Structure 1
């Protein structure tokens, strides 16, 4: 009975940790789940081998999902980013509030746009700050009942580099383009925090205002479309994805392994 209560206690502790918006408590909760899995198998079998196997299953489940479902998906090589209406308040109730926060930081809204990849619908609200020559986006991705959002700040230099600060919550599903630099800002609580982080990011790379390139605010959706095309092209060259019949691609076996590593990184980071 004491062994059973120990496992129940660990699971309750894990659930409690997940109710807090604190990455370290979230990590503690994830560790508690792993320990409970290990002990559960060990107590049932009396073997440490089965305990380690039970723990390893957590890291094998994503591979089954990737091979069984993701590898069968097909995505367009050229995504057409075009004007579209924003999602409803039922889908994303915080859009207007975040929009106000971005505009109060000196940005002007330029467009609402989006594209679709298989089952995932992507929406972006585009902003631009002419003084800082800085692009901002609020992005929403919806796949059936699964919805998540993130914000990004993008500076483009005259020599073709793109520097992005984002609070995107997951590891990326494709490799970044060679001329793209990424600054993860997972702990940002406000848009102002992201601005401060982005300015520090630019300073680390020696990018000053005179080295940045101004963008046409009315043409930002086309710039995002070009970014997507460049990323797809780079991943085709890297072997992460392969072209299928027509203008589509799928993940290669190398790409499946890349995705699995990204998922495991997320599991360890949470």
Structure 2
């Protein structure tokens, strides 16, 4: 009975810690889940090795999704943005604040567009600021009744390199093309003014001056997004992460499934 109460107590503690809004406390909750799982298998087998193997099962849970869903995905090789109305803003409260912050920072609204990607509906609100030589976007994502929003600030230098600061909450599901440099900030940092400051500090850290940046063309912003995605797809085709199908789509290879598993593990450890 004592062992049962210990395991139950650890699971209850883990759920309580995971409900906190503070990142460090949520991470402690994740460790509490690992400890609870370890003791559950340890008390069943009276073996430390079995307990450790049981705790490691958490890291293999993504394979259920990988083998049952992701393996069957077919994604379009040439995806096109289409002008569309934004979804109900009540699902994306942070997006409204971000768009307001962009306008306060001198960014001008350009367009609203979107596409479907990997079963996810993505809606973009695009802004630009010629003085900052930057493009800002707030992306609204919907998939399987799950909705979230993230903000990005993007600059391009004269050599064609893309410098991006974003609070996207997950690890990328494809390898980034060589010319794309990510500056990932915590997803709880949703204030656009702070993200813009982080982007400016990122450029300074990378020794990229304002004169090194190109002034964005608002008429070509949607085309640039499409071209960037196609370059990323081509890069992943060459890397063997994905391969072409016979119907003009692509899917993840075996190597790609292991790559995605690694990305899942990163998300589990980072616990945004």
TM-score of the two chains, using structure 1 as the length reference: 0.96
* Structure 1 match to 2:161: 161
Alpha-carbon contact 1:150-1:168 (below 8 Å) kept: yes
* Structure 2 match to 1:235: 236
TM superposition shift of 1:24: 1.1
* Structure 1 match to 2:207: 206
CA-to-partner distance for each residue in 1:16-40, whole Å, 9 max, x for gaps? 2222222211110000001100101
Rounded to whole Å, the distance in 1 between the matches of 2:179 and 2:3 is 54
Alpha-carbon contact 1:124-1:139 (below 8 Å) kept: yes
TM superposition shift of 1:74: 0.2
Confirm or deny that 1:7 pairs with 2:14. Answer: no
TM superposition shift of 1:182: 0.5
Which runs of 5 or more structure 2 residues have no equivalent in the other structure? Answer: none
* Structure 2 match to 1:104: 104
CA-to-partner distance for each residue in 1:109-143, whole Å, 9 max, x for gaps? 11111111242111111011111111011011111
Confirm or deny that 1:267 pairs with 2:268. Answer: yes
CA-atom RMSD in angstroms:
1.4
Q: Which moved more, 1:176-185 or 1:7-16?
A: 7-16
* Structure 1 match to 2:145: 145
* Structure 2 match to 1:191: 192
TM superposition shift of 1:196: 1.2
Rounded to whole Å, the distance in 2 between the matches of 1:176 and 1:260 is 16
Rounded to whole Å, the distance in 2 between the matches of 1:60 and 1:191 is 36
Residues paired across the two proteins, number = 270
TM-score of the two chains, using structure 2 as the length reference: 0.95
Q: Which moved more, 1:242-251 or 1:12-21?
A: 12-21
Alpha-carbon contact 1:244-1:250 (below 8 Å) kept: yes
Alpha-carbon contact 1:240-1:252 (below 8 Å) kept: yes
SS at match of 2:89: coil
Q: Point out 4+ residue stretches in structure 1 off by more than 4 angstroms.
A: none
Alpha-carbon contact 1:111-1:218 (below 8 Å) kept: no
Which runs of 5 or more structure 1 residues have no equivalent in the other structure? Answer: none
Rounded to whole Å, the distance in 2 between the matches of 1:246 and 1:95 is 36
Q: Which moved more, 1:83-92 or 1:139-148?
A: 83-92
* Structure 2 match to 1:221: 222
